[in-house]
Structure 1
Amino acid sequence: MLGRVPDNAPAVLADHAVYWAQDEAFPVIAPQPGAQAKGLLVRGLTSADLEALDFYEGGFGYDARPVTVTVDGQGAQALVYFPPEGKFTAGAPWSLDAWRQDWEEITMRAAAEVMARRTTHSAAEIRGMLPFFRSRAWAQQIARTPAPQTVRNPMTMDQVEITGKRPGFHGFFTMNAFKLRYRRFDGDWSPELPRECFMSFDVALVLPYDPVLDKVLLVEQLRFGPVQRGDPAPWVLEPIAGLVDARETPEAAARREAVEEAHLTLTDLRPMVRGYASPGYSTEFYHSFLGLCDLSGRGQSQGGLEAENEDIRNHVIAFTDAMDLLDTGEINAAPLAMMLLWLATKREALRAAA
């Protein structure tokens, strides 16, 4: 946030305690007689530094209040950021070590995204974007487990150099502009190349399938890609899908999204394909699953979360009908096509075992 480590000293705020904000990845400080809240007193901050801190903390709704802390046995005036009244519930006592283990890297990456939007967004706008910044940071941690390299060459990121960065775009999505060079197949280095990359998320996809009825559940909703492409019919048939939240497994995300989008509890989850949506220019990565379930008594129904402005229609149709839609082109979302074709190779065994 400040671009440097300022002068600081250990300090204590009497009659206060620090807790985890319940179901969150950050602390809350609250009055508590007899307790001591330990922290650091940061000195030498400029007005620009304070404006930067105010912007970041404003994304959580926190505001700075004057207090007296103790430093080396002496009282000192300070500002402490307090949470808004009634906004967060205090959970377990705060553990900096636990935060470092689970949340430090995610938080630091998310903070960089916050500060990149300082001149283009308000703190209130940032507040609603924070979970997505954390999801994007979490995707970069998941990415550290690579796919096998049996046919592919054995080169790694050690043979890729990011040589510079250029101004990109920072909104809900991020477009990184950069320069790089890389080791070519002939062993030489490429020239320095200007490139751009769409910084997206890891996504959990699930195709619900009832092997007894031989039916699948598809979701239909308005999609903005077709709208912007100029497609006159921009409603799309898709699998259930959603972002993998920070610290969430793709499997848990798939089960959560099935409930949110289709009010459906899956009895089993089978891994399908894991891969990049469009690796030439996007980080978006799909974790695809087949969701075994009971679809009896289900037909066309509504789904989605009202809080997320989702307007989703669910269709339960025979597998053979879904394949017909693939042949006619009415199914025009590639992830759904991929998942149906995967299911076609496993369908006989799944039906026999049902």
Structure 2
Amino acid sequence: MGKPEVALNDMEQVFLYGPLRDDRLRAVVLGCDRAGAPALLADHALLGEGAVAALAPHPDGSVEGLALALEAGLLERLDFYQRVCGLEPMTVGPGRSWGGGEGPLWDALAWGEVWAATVRATAGDVMRLFGRAEVAAVRVRYPLMLVRGGSRARAEREAGATAVRRAAAEGDLRIASQRQPYARFFAVEEYDIAFRQFGGGHSETVTRAVFLSGDAVTVLPYDPVRDRVLLVEQFRPGPFARGDRQPWLLEAIAGRIDAGETPEAAARREAVEEAGLTLGALLPVGNYYPSPAAKAEYLYSYLALCDLPDDAAGVFGLEGEAEDIRGHLVGFDALMQLMASGEICNAPLMLSVLWLQRERAALRAGAA
């Protein structure tokens, strides 16, 4: 995938297609607003149903896009973003053919509904690395960056209530610098930041580190007729690293929310992967930060009505992710004993069990 050649006058005509026709995304990538003229690429089709789109030769097809002239600096920003995301850079000119592949036709409306907010948010993270990281290093992390972008998009949509706490305003936070000293499956970011104080004015500039893992779901399957739940058990590196001699934990079904996925869809997918269960109604328990002092993780916890016969428990998990997950059918009274003994020792499950304790009578009456 080549870099667009810059013309002698430092301007180059480029053809932008698919997601880059979105004005807000293009402004993030270029660092400025830059409009283009409508253009049509003949003998091609645009394929894809995810965050990006791919061009493929097609004798009867045509692709709508934008033609615009960019100077060298903007071309470098565009090229960095396109190569990170897998969008092929295209210069306008004769005798060129691009792309290839198979798949469904790209749907701009569907992209706007499912992916636009996530891709825009992710583009900001990508472009913060422009000039600071190699394309290959960023590209390998792009799928995980989309997960974080989805978290950013949900956070913007779901602004919390401020009846008691401070309602944040522009200028309350002053970010002097931002770094990413670690970025693999998870990432760590450091901020040099000053924040508005309750007594007025701003704090001194302090350094704060945040562990980034993306939003996640937990779901506790409950059978109101048999009055029992299904718990999953697996090895957890967190307790192991703490020095806990019992690093196998009892938990609710849990997992990260994939890019382009809703929390509800993630809960149903994880139930199949971790327990082989098809869930019924999902009842929200709560949405919350489990450890906001140092983690950006945000959890969506549910209780799911479910049929849990005697053979519902087994050993599950995705082999490609080295998961080894054992299910346990636990009656309500035994569940409360596990809470009392401390054998249930993680916050999402404890919260869900207490919610079930409060709502149990109504759930059982509804099932009857």
Trace 1:266-281 onto structure 2 (pairs within 5 A): 266-281=279-294
Counterpart-to-counterpart distance in 1, 2:107 and 2:294 = 40
Q: Is 1:16 matched with 2:16?
A: no
Look up the match of 2:17.
none
* Partners of 1:106 and 1:134 within 8 A in 2: yes
User: CA 1:132–1:346 in structure 2 vs 1: closer, same or farther (change >3 Å)?
Assistant: same
Counterpart-to-counterpart distance in 1, 2:132 and 2:204 = 34
Counterpart-to-counterpart distance in 1, 2:135 and 2:200 = 48
Look up the match of 2:151.
139
Q: Select between 282-291 and 297-306 the one with higher mean Cα deviation.
A: 297-306
Higher strand share: 1
Q: Is 1:218 matched with 2:231?
A: yes
* Partners of 1:7 and 1:44 within 8 A in 2: no
Counterpart-to-counterpart distance in 2, 1:55 and 1:183 = 34
Equivalent residue for 1:178, pick from 188, 191, 213: 191
Trace 1:72-87 onto structure 2 (pairs within 5 A): 75=94, 80=98, 82-83=99-100, 85=101
Equivalent residue for 2:320, pick from 287, 304, 307: 307
* Partners of 2:217 and 2:255 within 8 A in 1: yes
* Equivalenced residues, count: 334
Q: Where does the alignment leave 5 or more consecutive residues of structure 1 unmatched?
A: none
User: CA 1:49–1:185 in structure 2 vs 1: closer, same or farther (change >3 Å)?
Assistant: closer
Counterpart-to-counterpart distance in 1, 2:338 and 2:124 = 44
**Cα deviation 1:174-229 (Å, max 9, x = unaligned):** 22211222222223332222212222311111111111111110111111212222
SS class of match (1:25): coil
Counterpart-to-counterpart distance in 2, 1:163 and 1:119 = 18
Counterpart-to-counterpart distance in 1, 2:80 and 2:200 = 50
Q: What is the TM-score normalised by the length of structure 2?
A: 0.77
SS class of match (2:240): helix
Give the counterpart letter for 1:17 in structure 2.
A
Look up the match of 1:205.
218
Look up the match of 2:11.
none
Look up the match of 1:32.
58
Look up the match of 2:105.
92
User: CA 1:54–1:232 in structure 2 vs 1: closer, same or farther (change >3 Å)?
Assistant: same
Q: Is 1:316 matched with 2:293?
A: no
**Cα deviation 1:47-67 (Å, max 9, x = unaligned):** x949x947953664x777xx9
Equivalent residue for 2:340, pick from 312, 327, 343: 327
Q: Where does the alignment leave 5 or more consecutive residues of structure 2 unmatched?
A: 1-27
* Partners of 2:50 and 2:115 within 8 A in 1: no
Look up the match of 1:57.
83
Counterpart-to-counterpart distance in 2, 1:104 and 1:290 = 30
* Partners of 1:205 and 1:254 within 8 A in 2: yes
Q: Is 1:160 matched with 2:172?
A: yes
User: CA 1:239–1:164 in structure 2 vs 1: closer, same or farther (change >3 Å)?
Assistant: same
User: CA 1:342–1:202 in structure 2 vs 1: closer, same or farther (change >3 Å)?
Assistant: same
Give the counterpart letter for 1:103 in structure 2.
W
